[in-house]
Amino acid sequence: GEGMRVETQRTISAWATGTFGKASRQVIVDRAQEEMRELTEAVREGQPVADIAEEAADVAIVLLHLAQDLGIDLNSAIDAKMAKNRKRKWVVDGNGRGRHVK
């Protein structure tokens, strides 16, 4: 059998474009919103972890496709954003959420 391939944002984007055709950035973002709604529903309904993981993967796949279209490396963008987040001061709400202090 064929082993699992390790995907990159380049291979994911190439697959998406090859399968669905060239999409505008707005179409890609709209798709990400649809996938996020499906993930939200899966969590709200308490679906099995494997199903939630699949929905989360769909969100990530679409975001990686967008990043490739933008010509950015999403992992590098995440690293840069996390470095910024770690330097910020945060106000927490006690429910696992918070906002940064301006």
CA distances (Å), origin 1, targets 4, 65, 79: 10, 27, 36
Each residue's pLDDT tens digit, 7-35: 999 999 999 999 999 999 999 999 999 99
Spatial distance between the Cα atoms of 4 and 47, rounded to a whole number of angstroms: 25
Residues of the chain with pLDDT under 70: 1-2
Enter the pTM of the model.
0.88
